Amino acid sequence: MIGLSNIEKRFGDNLVLKGVTVTIAEGSVTALVGPSGGGKSTLLRCINLLEIPTSGTVRIGDETLEFHPGGRVPARDIQRLRLQTGMVFQNFQLFPHRTAIENVMEGLVTVLRWPPERARERALALLEKVGMAHKADAWPATLSGGQQQRVAIARALAPSPKVLLCDEPTSALDPELAQEVVDVLGKLASEGTTMVMATHDLRLASKIAQEVVFLDAGVVVEKGPAAVLFNNPEQQRTKRFIATLKQEAEKEGGGEV
């Protein structure tokens, strides 16, 4: 379904990803975890080419792109692969001058050229799915952070992407509002939505991820089923990191895994 092969990413002289290879099955939920600066968000953004890999191969479904140092990939090829994905950002990134339903409709109308009425029908159905239909005509500034993120999830789902990418979807929210987002993503996971998320939220990752990839210093330290990685990891570095996450979760009232 999704294949990342030998992905390297440089920012100047800084090699942020060092030959990362990950395979993500259709219908699965994969959590990318690791310390700040470890490469998890950069790897996530390489999937939809918000960050262009320095080298390596990205495959989503039938679309495959190869990258080489100094090489250029045509913009139309990048756009074609990017259209296979939906993205949920840490800070929501809703258009402030558009209502909730208009935010969800935007890509359908401007990118996919859907008729407005068809787009509105699709947007309303998605707002219903994330529990936000009653706020369809609300402006983002009048919504809580959790409500804004749920609208952002609906927007990301609007074009029926093959994979939903979530970059720290709960980190800007307090624990109570974060739970709203965890519940929505859990519902999507139970429906078979393919998801990849970069997160340090143990509650989110342990509740809905089937697979976990632990990245540190730009390399995959360990990967495997969530139940194994969170409760009985093999690597000492992973054990230390998971122990820290559990301590943070307990402080925030998130409880243990």
Cα–Cα distance measured from residue 10 to residue 78, given in angstroms and rounded to the nearest whole number:
19
**Domain check: are 109 and 146 in the same one?**
yes
**Domain check: are 201 and 219 in the same one?**
yes
**Per-residue pLDDT band at 110 (split at 50, 70, 90):** very high
pLDDT score, position 253: 62
**Domain check: are 38 and 103 in the same one?**
no
Residue 50 lies in a domain: yes
- Residue 255 pLDDT greater than 50, yes or no: no
The range of the structural domain enclosing residue 23 comes to 2-84+162-251
Note the pTM of the prediction, 2 decimals.
0.93
Averaged pLDDT, 191-220? 93
Amino acid 63 reads E
Structure tokens at 179: 């739970």
**Domain check: are 155 and 167 in the same one?**
no
**Domain check: are 44 and 171 in the same one?**
yes
**Per-residue pLDDT band at 223 (split at 50, 70, 90):** very high
CB count, 10 Å around CB of 79?
Answer: 11
**Domain check: are 142 and 202 in the same one?**
no
Residue 203 lies in a domain: yes
Residue 256 lies in a domain: no
Mean pLDDT of all residues in the chain? 93
**Domain check: are 154 and 167 in the same one?**
no
What's 217's domain CATH number?
3.40.50.300
Report the share of the chain in percent with pLDDT over 90.
86
pLDDT tens-digit readout, 118-173: 999 999 999 999 999 999 999 999 999 999 999 999 999 999 999 999 999 998 89
**Domain check: are 175 and 246 in the same one?**
yes
Q: Distances from the Cα of 27 to the Cαs of 64, 94, 186, 192, in angstroms?
A: 19, 27, 13, 5
Cα–Cα distance measured from residue 169 to residue 32, given in angstroms and rounded to the nearest whole number:
12
pLDDT score, position 247: 82
Query: For residues 91 and 253, which has the higher predicted lDDT (pLDDT)?
Result: 91
DSSP 124-154: HHHHHHTT-GGGTT--GGGS-HHHHHHHHHH
Residue 257 lies in a domain: no
What are the DSSP E strand ranges found in the chain? Answer: 2-11, 14-24, 29-33, 55-60, 63-67, 85-88, 163-167, 195-198, 211-216, 219-225
**Domain check: are 155 and 168 in the same one?**
no
